[in-house]
Amino acid sequence: MVRIYKFLCCCLLLQWLLLLTFLSEPISAKHLPYPRLGVLKRGLKDPQFLASQSDFDTFNYTQTLDHFNYKPESFSTFQQRYVINSRYWGGPNTSSPILVYTGDEGGLEDDVAAAGFMTDNAHRFKALLVYIEHRYYGTSVPFGSREEAYRNASTLGYFSSEQALADYAELITYLKKKISADNCPVIVIGGSYGGMLAAWFRLKYPHIAMGALASSAPILYFDDLTPPNGYHFVVTEDFKEASESCYSTVRESWFEIDRIASQSDGLAALTQKFKSCNPLNRSTELKDYLESLYCVSAQYDAPPDYPVNELCKAIDGAPQGSGVLDRILAGVVAVNRERNCYDMGDRGFDTTVTNGWDWQTCSELAIPMGRGSNDTMFQASPFDLNEYMESCHKEYGVYPRPHWVTTEFGGHNIRRVLEKFATNIIFSNGLRDPYSSGGVLQNISDSIVAVYTTEGSHCLDILASSSKDPDWLTKQRDTEVKMIEGWIAEYKADLVTGKEKTKPPLQI
């Protein structure tokens, strides 16, 4: 409670501070990719993973390229991959539920492996499990090949969350008809970007999905709904809680890096000290690498290891008399282990999906992420919308639509809006996750609820359970399971009583 109270109390003050910062700080012309959402830190990189899982059957659906236009090219199709696990399904005659995982920015292997919540509870729900791969990721790419699909803005123009949601709607409808499951309730589950899709799917297609579990879904990190420095503010809080001295060392290190880089042969010295695989051409290459290291550690700061604690323990435990950068290097080695060299281009995520995520954040998912001079442990890097739009235009030839997400899916006055027309959505978060700053952290109604843990990290609740899980994580999952069971029970009761009767018209 202390963390969330602190964050909410600071929001208004930070907005004013950031406004002042925007007027005074220089803006970088470089477009840096956002910290990727991602349920897992890294992809499994095992193309044989699905084939080795005996309970999972892989299929391809002939999917419509463009759901929203009627041009000749809109009727083109592509093969969309989906996976089914029917081991515990009670069957259509029992109205047993269908749990659908809304695929995110990665291949389906990652989704199936990550969403342990579904396999852990399939027997309890007697559920059919369905996992759908997001278009343009994995093998579900239009135009015959990844190279052609990513060729330019014209082929990438069909790559959006709206099209992905329509994919899921079409495929789920097809599947229910194919297996005669019209009376089987559908509940969508997703994490991170997939969690955003799960929540949006429930809002956009309530006739198809009767509930959604949206884990670590920062649906409020758009427009001016969340302070731009929200992400890095939480990273900073994570480090402060781990160690004040570690936090201070990180703050000091940026200036030390710049000081050395400004000297003759300074970049060569930094290259040697941090064992960069390639010579550093700018100090920002090293600083970007370190920033990503800290952000990824905080985003996935999960028990029992807690990477932030591990990193700070190494920084604080460096030999007495070690300089600032020696202590920082000790943290790098602790997290990435001892190596011959460190790739400063490594951002802690599977690079095979980086281009897709860059396109999405340069088109509709423009998250206004930045920070001022003294509000985080990082150097100032304020978000400037005009500069960001120009950098995206330079990269792709199109401008982002920064206000489209809130226009399409909402977000402003979310409590007043959703409590009037929406039901059955669980927004789950862990407050150690920097993206929780853009999540729904308060209940909106009796059936649109926020379930969070102060020690949780990114998507931790939908990962597979373990005997080592702390009690608070087990309780979070149990709360979510009981709510979903309540939705299913209510749905089945309505089927029995025929509650869908229409009311008689009013006589005037």
- Range from 1-15, 71-85, 200-214, 427-441 carrying the lowest mean pLDDT: 1-15
* Catalytic annotation, residues: 192, 433, 458
pLDDT exceeds cutoff 60 at 1: no
Torsion angle defined by CA atoms of residues 330, 333, 335 and 340, in that order, rounded to the nearest 10 degrees: 170
- Range from 146-160, 346-360, 473-487 carrying the lowest mean pLDDT: 346-360
Q: pLDDT grade, residue 497 (50/70/90)?
A: confident
Amino acid, single-letter form, for residue 137: Y
pLDDT tens digits, 321-380: 999 999 999 999 999 999 999 999 865 555 556 789 999 999 999 999 999 999 999 999
Q: pLDDT grade, residue 34 (50/70/90)?
A: low
Asked whether 83 and 24 are in contact (CB, 8 A), the reply is no
What is the predicted pLDDT for the residue at 48? Answer: 64
pLDDT exceeds cutoff 60 at 13: no
What is the predicted pLDDT for the residue at 285? Answer: 96
Asked whether 74 and 7 are in contact (CB, 8 A), the reply is no
pLDDT tens digits, 108-150: 998 898 899 999 999 999 999 999 999 999 999 999 999 999 9
pLDDT exceeds cutoff 80 at 427: yes
pLDDT exceeds cutoff 90 at 210: yes
Between CA 172 and CA 178, with CA 175 as vertex, the angle to 5 degrees is: 155
pLDDT exceeds cutoff 80 at 6: no
Residue with tokens 């899980």: 469
Give how far the C-alpha of residue 234 lies from the chain's centroid of Cα atoms, to the nearest Å: 15
What is the predicted pLDDT for the residue at 30? Answer: 41
How many residues make up the chain in this entry? 508
Where residue 297 falls (left for φ over 0; alpha for ψ -120 to 50; beta otherwise) is alpha
3-state secondary structure 36-103: CCCCCCCCCCCCCCHHHCCCCEEEEEEEECCCCCCCHHHHCEEEEEEEEECCCCCCHHHCCCEEEEEC
CA distances from 310 to 269, 317, 328, 457 (A): 26, 10, 12, 15
What is the predicted pLDDT for the residue at 42? Answer: 55
pLDDT tens digits, 233-284: 999 999 999 999 999 999 999 999 999 999 999 999 999 999 999 999 999 9
pLDDT exceeds cutoff 50 at 31: no
Asked whether 305 and 235 are in contact (CB, 8 A), the reply is no
Q: pLDDT grade, residue 51 (50/70/90)?
A: low
Asked whether 217 and 461 are in contact (CB, 8 A), the reply is no
CA distances from 278 to 258, 350, 355 (A): 19, 20, 22
Q: pLDDT: is 502 or 252 the higher one?
A: 252
pLDDT exceeds cutoff 70 at 185: yes
Mean residue pLDDT of the chain comes to 90
Give φ, ψ of 457 to 5 degrees. -125, -165
- Strand locations in 160-253 (E): 186-191, 211-215
Q: pLDDT grade, residue 3 (50/70/90)?
A: low
Q: Is the pTM of this model over 0.85?
A: yes
CA distances from 1 to 298, 330, 432, 433 (A): 18, 32, 12, 15
What is the predicted pLDDT for the residue at 496? Answer: 87
How many helices (H) and strands (E) are present in the chain, helices listed first? 18, 8
What is the predicted pLDDT for the residue at 430? Answer: 98
What is the predicted pLDDT for the residue at 354? Answer: 77
What is the predicted pLDDT for the residue at 18? Answer: 32
For residue 231, give both structure tokens.
């992400």
Asked whether 280 and 267 are in contact (CB, 8 A), the reply is yes
Between CA 304 and CA 378, with CA 437 as vertex, the angle to 5 degrees is: 80
